Amino acid sequence: MADLAALLDREASAEIEGILSEARARASEIVAAANEEASTLLAGRRRSAEAQQRAALVRARSAAQLESSSLTLRAQHAVIEEVFGEAEREIDALTGKNEYADVLAKLIDEAVAGSGVETANVKAVVVNPGDQAAATKAAKAAGLSAAVETDESVRGGLRLKAGENVIIENTLYGRLESLREELAAEVAQVLLSKEG
pLDDT tens readout for residues 108-132: 999 988 888 888 888 999 999 999 9
What pLDDT score does 180 carry? 85
High-pLDDT (> 90) share of the chain, %: 30
3-state secondary structure of 20: helix
CB atoms inside a 10 Å sphere around CB 160? 27
pLDDT tens readout for residues 48-86: 888 888 988 889 889 888 888 788 788 888 888 888 899
